[in-house]
Structure 1
């Protein structure tokens, strides 16, 4: 049976072209998708900023350092155990006489008194175990532990405050960048309207229906619109850079969530106590830490009761009956000199108290008390400040909601006026100045419509910052 004939060349060529076109479409679609910047949600921005910001990371390390110091303060309850091994070689000349070796290192040779200098030398050794435990300190160690705990609480409160404030900063910068981008879009629309008017004016001026001065005014308006667009783009780039710094990123090209332009928050009240604001808690922790420091200074003058015990072994190459008359009774052998032959122990209890301590720490105690009072004044100040900011936030929320209800009417009226003036100008029934005034009104209405929702969100963010309830803002901002 004869084999089937091959496909015609034209058919094969058409099939190859089809597949080439399909593969090219897939590649172009993939490249376009890769070039599109990702949308950065507010939740993602908050996570990135809190995890990457170096100041927050540093304060986490400070908390860890304070925790280590707390454990170190607890370790002061442990006894001191000192073990010593000493092996030496030297002479044992002795001499009667007074000695006052204050701050001077010297030898502690012990032996018989010779009439003349003797250079007899042998090995010797000292083995020592010393245990001492300050069993009762009348609250000194406890006050240091409490001070270390207060330091941990202060650093922890500082970390929570920094995270809270940083979330507020990121959210504010996020909304500011959204507003800046929207203003750029409004400026681009305004430029397009100005260019449309410019074309109309040129056509009517060339046909003699309008004076040439209208063309000059239209050109000036286009230039003004371009300059305004450039200024707003510069502002948008600056705000974008600020947000990138808060996120600890080297530049940021992601687009933002524009859902804030189409919805508003619905909950504006919170049950959070302003005294639980992380900023207030930080200042409260500073007061507690200063009070603990004052208590620790006062306790530092208290005495201490110490239990101690010493066990000692001593070796010497000199015999027990070594005397100036029998100066040959010693051994230069190393093993004879380090083999202990005498043992002693001491156990006891002691109490010590520096009677001058109260005078020495008196001014230090006063200084610490003044610091505590200063921290308490700052605590009162930040509390009053946040209460005033909370009232201001409520007023701003009310004003923003009123603006949100009024802006749609303003935009509709400005849009209708622009259309009417544009039609009238094209028919020669109004002047270019009237048309430009209508354009200004429409541009302003567009800007107000763009930012009115963001004003409500920013007012809510201000209330969240003052009340300390960031969830009041974040739960509604991240809702889909």
Structure 2
């Protein structure tokens, strides 16, 4: 039983380890970020809410239909005189006026259906729907730009983590070289071929190399945590695509940077469109409203028609009072126009025009900034390629110098200081090479970000 349990646990651990070692591709990381990031989920909910608001505005074309049924029990003592139900409903009792108070009571009922339909609003309902649709487009554009900005952050975090992993790899190789050198120096020092100080110094180099490797690992953990947060994952380490550390994208010097379709510009344009729609909607508030209305009514009462003459002509029966004895209907048209709205809304229109003007200025500023950033990114990409070529020359020279000084030191033809300097130069050249190669991809990401098109980076990574 114990052997079976141990075998089962071992199998689970094997599969778990294989799952964690799966390579995280950049397109998969971008997709996971969109699906899992809470802020994007929040804005998706706002888009759905805005769509429902548009449906609500479309439903304003429907007429108001009110159904009511009322049953009551009470007296009907009435006097001549006016009644005004200010600010609410009033209780009404009807009969001929009587000379004295009577406490005779019976049931009564009122049933009615009321229809009120705004048949002509001079474009107000149409503009309300158009404004709602414009707002829906604005929040959709906001979602698109949020997704784009977040994917840019994910791309940068992905490349930063890859750079930290490569630097850790370089420092690991440097530690291995230092350990080999220490073992060689220690053996020769114990044999009396080298002074003991060389062994002590080489041991210090091993410690220094191990310290650099630990610091590089700290950076990897830090960038892994940043990427996990952006992906909406639990904290973990990632195995990334080696393409970005073994190759560079092809350069197209003749390509022209275009920013007209940038998600940020699209969002700003949607805000301008929404403001323009709001201007048109405010104009409609200055116009009248034409409505058609209709009422059908049925009434019942436990008091007979001759109750004013015969005080016994009533019944307290529930069924006698809640039936329908009389019916009425009412049809008509209503024109409502607040004339002062012709003047009152002029200031609101001017206010909205100034808001539109402000949004247009923001659009122009953002457009200039993105164009400048696109040109800068294009030049930086060119510089990143040139710098990468220079680091290849430096790396080749440092590797050759290290091999030469290793051979010379082993044969006693050079001192420890010269060898250590060659070791430092090789380590620095390897790090510069890895950073320069990563910077090419970072520059391409910056160009894709400035142009608002991440396919520039994704297409370059599909070799």
TM over 0.5: yes
Cα pair distance change 1:354/1:404, threshold 3 Å: same
Aligned to 2:358: 374
Listed one character per residue, the Cα deviations across residues 385-444 of structure 1 (whole Å, up to 9, x for unaligned) are 211111111111111111232222211110111122222233333332222221111011
Q: Is the 2:405–2:418 Cα contact (8 Å) retained in structure 1?
A: yes
Trace 1:232-381 onto structure 2 (pairs within 5 A).
232-266=216-250, 268=252, 273-323=258-308, 325-358=309-342, 360-381=344-365
Is the Cα–Cα contact under 8 Å of residues 304 and 314 in structure 2 kept in the other structure?
yes
Residue 42 of structure 2 is matched in structure 1 by: 58
| Contact 2:297/2:327 (8 A) holds in 1 | yes
Distance in 2, matches of 1:91 and 1:271, equals: 88
Contact 2:110–2:300 (Cα < 8 Å) also in 1: yes
Distance 1:27 1:70, change over 3 A: closer
Q: Does 1:422 align with 2:422?
A: no
1:404 correspondence with 2:388: yes
1:270 touches 1:469 (CA, 8 Å); kept in 2? Answer: no
Matched with 2:172 is: 188
Aligned position for 1:17: none
In structure 2, the residue matched to 1:436 is: 420
Q: Structure 1's 395 and 270: CA in aligned 2 closer, same or farther, altered over 3 A?
A: closer
**Distance in 2 between residues matched to 1:470 and 1:104, nearest whole Å:** 61
In 2, are the aligned partners of 1:92 and 1:112 still within 8 Å (CA)?
no
Rounded Cα–Cα distance in structure 2 between residues aligned with 1:86 and 1:296: 40
Query: Are the aligned partners of 1:297 and 1:365 in contact in 2 as well (CA < 8 Å)?
Result: yes
Change (3 A) 1:286 1:206: same
Q: Deviation of residue 375 (structure 1)?
A: 2.2
The residue number in structure 1 matching 2:99 is 115
Residue 150 (structure 2) aligns with: 166
User: In structure 2, what is the equivalent of residue 156 of structure 1?
Assistant: 140
Q: Is residue 261–residue 451 contact of structure 1 (8 Å, CA) maintained in 2?
A: no
Query: What SS does the corresponding residue of 2:260 show, helix, strand or coil?
Result: helix
Write the distance in 2 (CA, Å) between the matches of 1:243 and 1:64.
28
The separation in 1 between residues aligned to 2:16 and 2:100, in whole angstroms, is: 104
Q: Counterparts of 1:177 and 1:165 in 2: how far apart (Å)? A: 18
Deviations 1:309-337 (A, max 9, x none): 111121111111111x4211112122221
Name the counterpart of 1:395: 379
In terms of mean alpha carbon deviation, does 296-305 or 97-106 score higher? Answer: 97-106
Q: Displacement of 1:207 after TM fit?
A: 4.8
State the partner residue of 1:14.
none
Partners of 1:95 and 1:33 in 2: CA distance = 92
TM-superposed CA distance for 1:36, in Å, is 6.6
Q: Pairwise mapping of residues 110-149 of structure 1 onto structure 2 (< 5 A)?
A: 110-149=94-133
Q: Return the alpha-carbon distance in structure 2 between the equivalents of residues 130 and 242 of structure 1.
A: 62
Range that drifts further, 352-361 or 203-212: 203-212
Alpha carbons of 1:309 and 1:397: their partners in 2 closer, same or farther (altered >3 Å)? same
Q: Find the aligned partners of 1:309 and 1:343 in 2 and give their Cα distance.
A: 14
Q: Residue 451 of structure 2 corresponds to which residue in structure 1?
A: 467
RMSD: 2.6
Aligned residues: 454
CA distance in structure 2 between the partners assigned to 1:80 and 1:207 by the alignment = 105
Cα gap change, 1:143 to 1:472, in 2 (>3 Å): same
After TM superposition, list the pairs within 5 Å mapping 1:94-105 onto structure 2: 94-103=78-87, 105=89
Evaluate the alpha carbon distance shift between residue 267 and residue 359 of structure 1 in structure 2; reply closer, same or farther with a 3 A threshold: same
Q: How far apart in 2 are the matches of 1:98 and 1:137?
A: 34
